[in-house]
Structure 1
Amino acid sequence: MTLNDRVLGVGALVFAALITAFGYDLEPPFSYEPVGPKAFPLLLALIIALCGLRLILKGGGQVAANPPGANGRILMMVAYLAAYAWLFQWLGFIVATTMMATLVGRLFGGSWKQALIGGLAMGGGLFVLFDLGLDVVLPHGILGAWL
């Protein structure tokens, strides 16, 4: 079975509708910025919907089957992202991001050393960028006493 662009476009529209439905009611307990937290999911849904519409209108192109082993890697990536979302608050941004980036690095063929260095750089670097540079509050998790 081959997947064509129109099927992917319809899937993108359904996904954009779900993002809109869940993101539209996001309200913070207090007002801290003029836009609010729902701006990002709604903007993301708009971009995904526009891409889906383009695929539906242009559509028709056949896509080659995935190479051997790709479906397993895709399922592992989905599992890693689900675990990341589930452990994010408890472990904290740095630990959860380091673990996820390390596992994804291994999934894409990096050695343990390369993946761990990249994961540590991503977890620590993004924390410094967002928490200190952009003043975005991120969960400290199990490292809370040291941060």
Structure 2
Amino acid sequence: MLSDRILGAVCLLLAVSMAWAAQSYVAEISYEPVGPRAFPMLLAALLAAGGLWLVFKPAAEGQARYAQVPLKLVALTLGTVFVYAFAFETLGFPLATALMAVPVGMAFGGRPLKCLAAGVVLGVGCFFMFDRLLDVVLPAGLLAPLLGAL
């Protein structure tokens, strides 16, 4: 479908811009084995792979036409990701991720409380996985006093 291909092209453009922006990410002091650009580069690669799949996937013959995602939901999701990128440092990874999960989850048909609960688990769980297990420093933001005590 044409809307899938347009979304794929937008994903590819975002992936290229993410990768280009991440090239300048350097740590002043090398304290991590992978450095600060590894995570955004990985996300850009995954976004590019998904975008390429959407652009070049074969047309499904003989299958029932599936419901198209309204452009309004795509715009909401894209806007939420941009707000997430700007609020990431101030709010911190766990809180920004939890808040981002609500509108994105609802765009995919989730209920608000379930989306918030999943976002809290995702945000806090990934924070501890990256920060404590993998030694990749993520901003704790407003929850720093609480997360530091754990």
After TM superposition, the score normalised by the length of structure 1 is 0.69
Identify which range, 29-38 or 130-139, moves more after superposition.
29-38
CA contact (8 A) 1:94 1:124 kept: yes
Tell me whether 1:81 sits opposite 2:43 in the alignment: no
Give the Cα–Cα distance (whole angstroms) in 2 for the partners of residues 105 and 136 of structure 1.
26
Name the residue aligned to 1:122.
122
Give the Cα–Cα distance (whole angstroms) in 2 for the partners of residues 20 and 136 of structure 1.
19
Give the Cα–Cα distance (whole angstroms) in 1 for the partners of residues 106 and 130 of structure 2.
25
Give the Cα–Cα distance (whole angstroms) in 2 for the partners of residues 120 and 43 of structure 1.
23
Name the residue aligned to 1:111.
111
Name the residue aligned to 1:28.
27
Identify which range, 76-85 or 131-140, moves more after superposition.
131-140
Q: Give the % identical residues.
A: 35
The structure number with the bigger radius of gyration is 1
TM-superposed deviation, 1:32? 2.5
Give the Cα–Cα distance (whole angstroms) in 1 for the partners of residues 133 and 67 of structure 2.
41
Give the Cα–Cα distance (whole angstroms) in 1 for the partners of residues 78 and 4 of structure 2.
22
Gaps of 5+ in 2: none
Name the residue aligned to 1:136.
136
Gaps of 5+ in 1: none
Give the Cα–Cα distance (whole angstroms) in 2 for the partners of residues 82 and 55 of structure 1.
21
Measured against aligned partners, the alpha-carbon deviations of 1:71-109 in whole angstroms (never above 9, x if no partner) come to 110000011001111111111111111111122111211
Where in structure 2 are the equivalents of 1:34-73 lying within 5 Å? Answer: 35-39=34-38, 48=48, 52=52, 67=68, 70-73=70-73
After TM superposition, the score normalised by the length of structure 2 is 0.68
Name the residue aligned to 1:96.
96
SS at match of 2:146: coil
Measured against aligned partners, the alpha-carbon deviations of 1:22-50 in whole angstroms (never above 9, x if no partner) come to 3333322122245533455556667738x
